[in-house]
Amino acid sequence: MDLTYILVGMLAVRKNPKGRTTRLRDSERTRERLLQAASREIYRSGFQSASLDTILAVAGVTKGALYYHFDNKEALGHAVVEEIIAPDVHGKWVRPLQTGKNPIDTLIGAVQSIPVRPEDVRGGCQLNNLAQEMSPLDAGFRKRLARIFDAWRGAVASILREGQANGRVRRDVEPAEAAALLIAMVEGYASLAKNAQDPKVMKAGIRTIVGWLRSLRAPGNRKRG
């Protein structure tokens, strides 16, 4: 075969990476479908009972595609924590606190935005569900979930410290302890509501948490809502 023809052909492939880009994009979409399907199945059934066959059917991919992207079921679960649950918590709790002007108002807004539809209460909090199920069993889950809780607690503590600095939060409040208590109340009421299968339990919990948050205002700011 003509060497010039071969070289020209190779150069044409290098100059036109469209096929490789398309394959990479398809691979990324396949991985994302697996993650979304796994997240839903884990939320519905728990990690240990989650069915790989169900995940594959929902994602519409083969077992070979699953093991191309993830070494095993545990690796898939760890990826769900890092790429689905962590961004969700960041978007609901960390990012709003980083941009809020009034710390107590911002925290109240975050608490009042907690979903209380029957379908939300029925399944509980995915972060807390996995922490309860897998932290005692798997160090990979425990460490990844701990990082999410730490980021959440750190964001709350940080905004409370800023509030103390500008006179909006009581000086006697210990930010790290208050942050841990807030998370414990949010997750505790979510567990109670899940157990009762009753949105009213979560709604009552939200009212209680909001009342507690209002009590953290510095005296000169308590007239606010």
Residue found under tokens 């978007």: 91
pLDDT of 28 over the 70 cut: yes
For residue 217, the cross-strand partners are 169
Helix axes 199-214, 103-112, angle to 10 degrees: 180
50-99 pLDDT tens trace: 999 999 999 999 999 999 999 999 999 999 999 999 999 999 999 988 88
Q: What is the pLDDT of residue 1?
A: 47
Percentage of the chain with pLDDT > 70? 87
Q: Are 156 and 182 in contact (CB under 8 A)?
A: yes
Show the domains of the chain with their CATH numbers: 1-70 (1.10.10), 73-225 (1.10.357.10)
> If you average pLDDT over every residue of the chain, what do you get?
88
Burial of 80 (0-12, 13-18, 19+ CB in 10 A): buried
**Residue 139 clears pLDDT 90, i.e. is over it:** yes
pLDDT at residue 17 above 90? no
- Give the closest residue to 40 by CA, choosing from 85, 89, 71, 90: 85
Mean pLDDT to the nearest integer, 43-51: 94
Check pLDDT > 90 for residue 194.
Answer: yes
